[in-house]
């Protein structure tokens, strides 16, 4: 009974996508080719793994068992490959996932530092929201990811990079009005009806709601902007207020001259930005080195922001 790694890869993709077309697209093959390999896997195991009667393919009880075993096999293969791949440290090809509220601000500083260290480094960057990045990390589509900690996901190694404090941003008139208060404004005192945040799915929106002591279902908070750049433009024109992380301050204030920002009183609300990888054991010198470079880049961006808005 010869079961191939290709068959296991195709089967895992089908089990996770529950769609032959999407599974084939993930594996970069045609749908008929994927279907043939799944059939051959079933023939060699002597069991039906996929129930094809419904609108979506579903795993049979035997399929559930095989899926668990297939993931263990592919996990061990990943460990073997990484043990060899990273022996030379941070070199070769690196696939890095970064969330959208970090990527445009950190990468312009970090990438030249990585290039200066090793011109031969083949760096591939994947920008996506947290859930997608974590899925890509678990599937091995990225080697490491920059996102907000903690992830709450087992089987990951997490290391902090820097603390990114939240500031309050709005138009000149709005910020002047708030600055004139006799007492410093705290996040929990913000009017939810004036608060603009990112689309649902961005972890920054959830963090901002938590900072303000708000619940999505119990407020009229507008969760509509797709990027911090869009959000900054809106609030600069008087369409509400927003929480803007320090990491974005220099870039967004330079791009939107009308934007004004004030700080909250200590302790300032913040998120922890960190680097994450799968816990595959083996040599992690590359991970430590990568974290050190990203940490240095982050501190450089934050130092500039704190000089602009003390």
Residue-wise pLDDT for 27-41, tens only, equals 999 999 999 999 999
Please state the separation of Cα 89 from the chain's center in Å.
24
Cβ(145)–Cβ(275) below 8 Å: yes
Proportion of the chain above pLDDT 70, given as a percent: 88
Closest residue by Cα to residue 100 from 137, 139, 133, 144: 133
Give the integer Cα–Cα distance in Å for 137 and 78. 12
Facing residues of 95 across strands?
Answer: 124
Q: Kindly state the tokens that stand for 100.
A: 């959208």
Closest residue by Cα to residue 126 from 110, 144, 149, 152: 144
pLDDT in tens, 122-135: 888 999 999 999 98
For residues 271 and 105, give the distance between their C-alpha atoms in angstroms, rounded to a whole number: 15
pLDDT computed for residue 204 by the predictor? 77
When pLDDT is averaged across residues 153-178 and rounded to a whole number, the result is 91
State the pLDDT at residue 248. Answer: 95
Of 293, 294, 285, nearest to 82 by C-alpha is: 285
Enumerate long-range contacts of 129-134, CB under 8 Å, 24 or more apart.
129/99, 129/100, 129/201, 129/202, 129/203, 130/99, 130/202, 130/203, 131/201, 133/97, 133/98, 133/99
Question: What architecture is domain 93-310?
Answer: 3-Layer(aba) Sandwich (3.40)
- What mean pLDDT, rounded, does the chain reach? 85
Q: Do domains 5-85 and 93-310 have the same CATH topology?
A: no
The ranges assigned to domains in the chain are 5-85, 93-310
Q: What is the pLDDT of residues 61-73, one digit of tens each?
A: 999 999 988 888 8
Provide the H-helix boundaries in the chain: 5-17, 20-27, 31-45, 61-85, 103-117, 130-139, 172-179, 203-211, 228-236, 246-255, 285-308
Query: Apex CA 135: angle with CA 134 and CA 137, to 5°?
Result: 60
Q: What is the CA radius of gyration of the chain?
A: 23
Q: What is the CATH number of domain 5-85?
A: 1.10.10.10
Task: Take residue 4 and report the two structure tokens written for it.
Answer: 């191939």
Give the SS3 label for residue 81. Answer: helix
Report residue 173 as tokens. Answer: 């008139």
| Residue 277: Cβ within 10 Å count | 20
Encode pLDDT of 267-295 as tens digits. 899 999 999 998 866 557 788 889 999 99
Summarised one tens digit per residue, pLDDT across range 217-236 is: 544 555 567 788 988 998 99
Q: Is the pLDDT of residue 170 over 60?
A: yes
């Amino acid at each position: 009974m010869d079961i191939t790694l290709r068959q296991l890869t195709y089967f895992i993709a089908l089990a996770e996508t529950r769609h032959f077309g999407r599974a084939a697209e993930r594996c970069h093959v045609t749908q008929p080719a994927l279907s043939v390999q799944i059939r051959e896997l079933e023939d060699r195991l002597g069991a039906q793994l996929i129930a094809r009667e419904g609108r979506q393919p579903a795993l049979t009880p035997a399929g559930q068992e095989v899926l668990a075993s297939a993931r263990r096999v592919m996990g061990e293969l990943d460990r073997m490959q990484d043990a060899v791949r990273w022996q030379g440290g941070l070199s070769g090809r690196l696939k890095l996932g970064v969330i959208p509220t970090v990527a445009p601000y950190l990468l312009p500083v970090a990438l030249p530092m990585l290039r200066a260290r090793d011109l031969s480094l083949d760096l591939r960057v994947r920008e996506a929201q947290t859930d997608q990045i974590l899925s890509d990390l678990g599937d091995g589509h990225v080697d490491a990811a920059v996102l907000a900690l903690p992830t709450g996901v087992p089987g990951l190694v997490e290391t902090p990079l820097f603390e990114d404090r939240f500031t309050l941003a709005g138009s000149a008139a709005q910020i002047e009005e708030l600055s004139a208060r006799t007492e410093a404004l705290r996040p929990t005192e913000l009017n939810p009806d004036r608060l603009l945040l990112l689309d649902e799915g961005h972890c920054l929106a959830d963090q901002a709601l938590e900072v303000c002591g708000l619940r999505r279902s119990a407020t009229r908070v507008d969760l509509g902007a797709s990027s911090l750049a869009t959000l900054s433009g809106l609030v600069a024109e008087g369409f509400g207020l927003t929480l803007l992380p320090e990491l974005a301050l220099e870039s967004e204030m330079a791009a939107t001259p009308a934007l004004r920002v004030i700080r909250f009183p200590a302790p300032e609300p913040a998120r922890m930005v960190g680097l994450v990888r799968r816990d595959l054991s083996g040599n992690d010198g590359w991970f430590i080195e990568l974290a050190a470079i990203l940490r240095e880049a982050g501190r450089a961006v934050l130092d500039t922001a704190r000089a602009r808005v003390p």
